[in-house]
Structure 1
């Protein structure tokens, strides 16, 4: 867990923060998928709240991957050149994820809401890909990212999101 009182402008265990972001994104996606079963606004169509939650999630995941590509991955490519093939694989994954997110956003942006089964299929595919992607990314990058601690900038600069604070207690 990252220190909650870390001074602005300092990185604190960026790799650990990446894991926290992945856990949060995974939990949010699980909540969305679970809510598909509980959501019954009409004839197998997602409710407005579910649509909003889904679109918010898609935007957060997109920001995270763009932040990694433009921040952490560029820095790691300079600092640890042997990671370049891993980074290229991860960027390819990000492109595939962006395609899925685009399809989800298109489904949810249609004035006629999509059938839940169609949305579920996209979310299930996204969940399977992200599980593999997150584990690979964490296995290959956490130590290198944690070595960046103390550099100027913020985790959000490098990861696209700040790890959500966990409730104390």
Structure 2
């Protein structure tokens, strides 16, 4: 039980829920928002905050509790770097979306499609690779807020 007396939802479930929220936000973005820039910036910020929270908090605590997962965490961090590069490209393309030609809009859509594919693969791997370890006990040193409480 947590300090409020209620049972905590398993960390793995909260991680899966955060991923589901990010998937839905990307799906909305890909479905053709009239204001691509605003929606992109919100989504990109939420995804970046989630991954930075994992990189700077969750993963450190996870490796402290389960040193055998160090290689897995290194692979997840590498995925985060790859995704961050794609996010940068998406942000740049979205910034020009107001004046974008149909060719540029197609480029934006391709980047979003690629991001969706990579995110899906990453999320599934992460949930499989660390879910049980999260539920076995990882100290929350403040990492849960940026990882689970997604900002818009």
Tell me the residue number matched to 1:119: 108
Kept in 2: contact 1:17–1:163 (CA 8 A): no
Tell me the residue number matched to 1:162: 149
Greater fraction of residues in helix = 2
Tell me the residue number matched to 1:133: 122
Kept in 2: contact 1:15–1:138 (CA 8 A): yes
Kept in 2: contact 1:13–1:149 (CA 8 A): no
Aligned length: 147
Give the unaligned 5+ runs of structure 2. none
Tell me the residue number matched to 1:44: none
Question: 1:1-169 to 2 correspondence within 5 Å?
Answer: 7=4, 12-34=9-31, 36=32, 47=34, 49-110=35-96, 113-114=99-100, 115-148=104-137, 151=140, 153=142, 155-156=144-145, 159=147, 161-162=148-149
TM-score if structure 2 supplies the norm length?
Answer: 0.84
Instruction: Work out the CA distance in 2 between the residues paired with 1:52 and 1:112.
Output: 11
What whole-Å deviation, never above 9, does each CA across 1:52-94 have from its counterpart, x for those lacking one? 0111000100000000001110101111000000000000000
Give the unaligned 5+ runs of structure 1. 40-46, 165-169
Kept in 1: contact 2:12–2:127 (CA 8 A): yes
Instruction: Work out the CA distance in 1 between the residues paired with 2:124 and 2:137.
Output: 20
Q: Mean Cα displacement is larger for which, 54-63 or 103-112?
A: 103-112
Give the secondary-structure state (helix, strand or coil) at the position aligned to 1:135. Answer: helix
Q: Residues 91 and 85 of structure 1: is their aligned pair in 2 closer, same or farther, counting only changes over 3 Å?
A: same
